[in-house]
A and B are shown apart, each in its own frame.
Chain A
């Protein structure tokens, strides 16, 4: 399978716990994005990497959120001290850098904070 892979698919956690999600992009893609989708909304941009550099973070990304992409390959998104409002689908996407290129999405990680 050469698509974008996300792990885990589902995560249920208690409020206040930390969670970490992983994204493996398409191998030749140097751009990687994290989005969050809540019920009835479209995906909302969280952060963006070009290779290993995190170049932009949305104001939606509070200081409890941190993302990394070591070595420009896979990426992790960590949420510390989870809150019920963090419950959402977290989507990862990757794309090539140049030209008219679309972003390819993974299947997402569904987070439920109880």
Chain B
């Protein structure tokens, strides 16, 4: 149980376009979802926390207009990278949490902006 999926697993896009990444909790209801960014061989940097049905809370330094997060249901959250640029290339990981203390992580999405 407690499976989290992400789609796509790898995406390449051109500079200036927008990319949407989906995060789904497959067998539980996720009241909270977290989005992380990870650079090669570095730790996870929390970008934002989203609760179902409400606006996401962004960490300091994360542009909310650039990284749009929507948590429309208890099983789906999306991250849209708007007007992507090469510096947005990274590994994006989501995690989902129910009423318990644990977070369950998705497999990650590799974004490459050319």
Chain A complexes with chain B: no
Q: Which residues of B contact A (CB under 8 A)?
A: none
Q: Which residues of A contact B (CB under 8 A)?
A: none
